[in-house]
Amino acid sequence: MIDWFSVQGRDLPWRRPGTSPWAILVSEVMLQQTPVVRVLPRWVDWMEQWPTPADLADAPTAEVLRRWDRLGYPRRALRLQECARAIVREHGGAVPRGLESLHSLPGIGEYTAAAVTAFAHHGRAVVADTNIRRVLARSVRGRALPDPSYSAAERALATRSLPAEPKRSVAWNQAVMELGALVCTARSPQCERCPLAEAGCAWYAAGMPPSVQDGRRPQRFEGTDRQMRGKIMAVLRRDGEAASADLLALDPSDPARVERCTASLVQDGLAARIGEQLRLP
Ligand code: SF4
């Protein structure tokens, strides 16, 4: 896997030598729910604007949300700013080491704490992202998909599979994650160009049987509250504010939905209501 990555791995800016731990943490938060291709320009812009935690901690929150642009799930932007403030307040402005310290930061869950430990601090950590979980489920367990939520069996397998030596463990995490992103994809695995096919991938060897979970329906986006929240945030990023009455035009057939989504954005701290106007906070 590590040899394969040295030839096939993508040259992504946050992987380059000299990238700061903070810049790597930002990339991991952005990549949590957004594809690489959409993260790339936003990450570059973000790091030019706020290269250190102290820079982001001091930034106006409205500007933070504007520059988050269309990465989606904008609560991540608020949490990232809270994280920057906690790093300045509690760690002297430097991204802390250790899973426990990282996990205690706002917006940093188990996965991100492990990814920062591995990729920013070059430590041994089990980075169980969806790609690694899928590759292990197929190549070792012989299943089409990992368990619906990260299970104890998966955790034990990921821990067992990770090389003991820290430097190799970092390279392994990166390589398996990349294989899942580029080759062993969820919908169309390209086994003919996969180094694990000849190395004994269990699912491939078994003839790629479908999973009992294959009936899971993909999540619908059209018509959801998440889509409407995204539309309202796009108006606020563009204009800074909007009249509540004008926002109803986003879906004249369902004003209750617009109002419900507006209220939830205010509740999440992503927008503020001033009289009849809605604004970025
Ligand atoms: S052989 Fe196919 S199923 Fe197995 S790890 Fe490679 S791409 Fe995935």
115: domain CATH number is 1.10.340.30
State the DSSP H helix or E strand holding residue 279, giving kind and residue range, or none if neither. strand 277-279
Assign residue 230 the CATH number of its domain: 1.10.10.10
Q: Kindly state whether residues 143 and 41 are assigned to the same domain.
A: no
Which structural domain, as residue segments, surrounds residue 46?
2-119
- Nearest atom (ligand 1) to Cα of 195: 6
- Give pLDDT < 70 ranges for the chain: 212-219
Q: Kindly state whether residues 12 and 78 are assigned to the same domain.
A: yes
Q: Last residue of a domain, which of 119, 147, 169? A: 119
CA of 201 to the centre of ligand 1 (A): 6
pLDDT score for 222:
80
Q: State how many domains the chain has.
A: 3
Has residue 49 been placed in a domain?
A: yes
Assign residue 157 the CATH number of its domain: 1.10.1670.10
pLDDT score for 252:
87
Q: Last residue of a domain, which of 191, 215, 239? A: 215
How many C-beta atoms surround the C-beta of residue 267 within 10 A? 9
Q: Ligand 1: does its nearest atom lie under 6 Å from the Cβ of 197?
A: yes
pLDDT score for 214:
53
pLDDT score for 245:
85
| Rama region for 95: left / alpha / beta (φ>0; ψ in -120 to 50; rest) | beta
pLDDT score for 213:
58
Q: Ligand 1: does its nearest atom lie under 6 Å from the Cβ of 183?
A: yes
- CA dist., res. 8 & res. 3, Å (int): 9
Paired tokens of 15: 């992987």
pLDDT score for 179:
97
Q: Kindly state whether residues 103 and 159 are assigned to the same domain.
A: no
Q: Is 110 a catalytic residue?
A: no
- CA dist., res. 57 & res. 78, Å (int): 10
Has residue 124 been placed in a domain?
A: no
How large is the angle between the packed helices 110-119 and 21-31, nearest 10 degrees? 140
Of 46, 11, 9, 8, residue with least CA distance to 27 = 46
Has residue 125 been placed in a domain?
A: no
Tell me, what amino acid is at 219?
A: Q
Q: Last residue of a domain, which of 75, 93, 119? A: 119
Helix H, strand E, coil C: the string for 92-142 is: CCCCCCCHHHHHCCCCCCHHHHHHHHHHCCCCCCCCCCHHHHHHHHHHCCC
Q: Ligand 1: does its nearest atom lie under 6 Å from the Cβ of 202?
A: no
Q: Considering the candidates 28, 110, 198, 276, report the single residue annotated as catalytic.
A: 28
pLDDT score for 258:
92
CA of 190 to the centre of ligand 1 (A): 7
- Coil, strand or helix: which one is 4? helix
Q: Kindly state whether residues 242 and 167 are assigned to the same domain.
A: no
